Structure 1
Amino acid sequence: MTTTLAADRELDVRGLNCPLPILRAKKALTDLASGQVLKVVATDPGSVKDFQAFCKQTGNELLSSSEGPEFTFFMKKR
């Protein structure tokens, strides 16, 4: 069973390497209201740990992350 999360905004950072996916996500989150969800699609394998650390440091909630050829993250703005 898979749960599909609804995103208020999507961010495509495929092809970008650290630190660009985090910087773009941080900028996108500033445009969202508290409680809204940002979906990020990345190809950088390092983004998994980067987004976990980013959410822990900023207080935003990492709702889910999935790995494959692409990495998908859902973050809820605090």
Structure 2
Amino acid sequence: MTAPDTAGSERHLDLRGLKCPLPVLRSRKALTELKPGTVLVVEASDPMSVIDIPHMCNEDGHELLAQDKTGDGLRFTIRRGAQKNAG
């Protein structure tokens, strides 16, 4: 993916070491606490995150700006959507 435009507010969430379903649940909770348009960078190590987090973004109306492999896991860059989250 290309480098995302993360101008403005950006938050980081380190979820490395947590197993499914915790990374997606904590990401969803963090996103509900952010204003629309805010960027959340999620670090995760659970291999299921590569499926779960993009699915959550699609279901909840958030924009997945980037998904990258890192030395110790995965990094997801998500822009908070305007739609209210379920849950």
TM-score (norm 1): 0.88
- The aligned counterpart of 1:53 is 55
Structure 1 stretches of 4+ with a deviation exceeding 6 A read none
Which residue number in structure 2 is paired with residue 39 of structure 1?
41
Q: 1:4 & 1:47 partners in 2: Cα distance? A: 19
Residue-pair matches, total: 77
C-alpha displacement of 1:4: 6.5
Deviation at 1:5, TM superposition (A): 5.4
- Report the RMSD for the aligned CA atoms in angstroms: 1.6
Q: C-alpha distance in 2, partners of 1:4/1:56?
A: 17
C-alpha displacement at 1:32, in angstroms? 0.7
For 2:31, the aligned partner's letter is L
- Partner SS state of residue 36, structure 2: coil
Structure 2 spans left out of the alignment, 5+ residues: 82-87
From 70, 73, 78, the counterpart of 2:76 = 73
Q: Report what 1:3 is aligned to.
A: 3
- Correspondence for 1:12 among 5, 11, 14: 14
The residue type paired with residue 64 of structure 2 is L
Share of identical aligned residues, percent?
44
Report if aligned partners of 2:62, 2:80 keep a CA contact under 8 Å in 1: yes
CA distance in 2, matches of 1:55, 1:30: 12
**2:11 is the alignment partner of 1:24:** no
TM (normalized to structure 2)? 0.80
